[in-house]
Structure 1
């Protein structure tokens, strides 16, 4: 009888060598995948610190501070601490700061007297805030608010304006639009100007 016999010890050794090679290959593949992921993540992180430009907007980096309501504006006037607060964030490296909510010039726009307003004589403190942020190298964007007759859950005892059944009239909506347009610290866009021109012509 002719046959072939492989010793158990030799067979086990060959299997062990193949298994070790397979494991080494898997480790190399895993290491290469981890390296690629690390390179992608590193590139994403680097991109956050690159300047950003779009038309007239320039940001020194892409780090943006999200808005946070702070209730530091008694009777709608931002206190000096507000300018100092935003100034520290600007000096700390924020490229763009989005302000806390600021109320429009509408009675029903606000539900708390400690949230800043953005109209009338209350604009002067905002000028100081903007100058402070710019001095630190950052940019700042305003957040305009109209919250309606909704009670502030942080101050449930605050009085809120009474709801008027005629509030949803066309005149009311047009007046609200005007408050957003005039409240925004920028020139009107062509579409906004056309809308206002049409309203003026319709009222003549």
Structure 2
């Protein structure tokens, strides 16, 4: 899988930051939408370093789906990411962020999930129609065809090895259909000043 080494400024991939802002399509893919979003609530902020039981990415998906459908019945999942840079060597994190798009609402919204607190719907953000259409055309496939983070990280050997050597290192993970050719996991961490990023296909054969 592709391995990227560079001077490391942050363990968070650009893709993950964009997810948190609800602007994944414009920020990562070069697609439409360079305008600023209109928010329908408070801005979504990166949470402080999470504590609690670490779980695989898809562990909270059912609860997140329920919260998203409660927001809008046509909500479709387009991105998953570790909510804080606390990914471990097994591909688990104490909290995960699931981001959805609703064509009827013309907005995106994220659900934060942890074993301790369950699913929490964060404020939605309105986006231009072109962005909503683009995101809606790039939804993630059904969960049954997705590789979970705990399996995908086995193929991200450089990141996994770095986290085994330094379990306290900050590390991130994100899943979307924009960053590569189809659904793809992106894992990133740091070794000193160097950033390590690996990409792993996210669909099962």
- TM bin, normalised by shorter chain, reads under 0.3
- Structure number with greater Rg is 1
Question: Larger relative contact order (C-alpha < 8 A, sep ≥ 6)?
Answer: 2
TM-score (normalizing by structure 1) = 0.25
TM-score (normalizing by structure 2): 0.25
Bigger helix share: 1
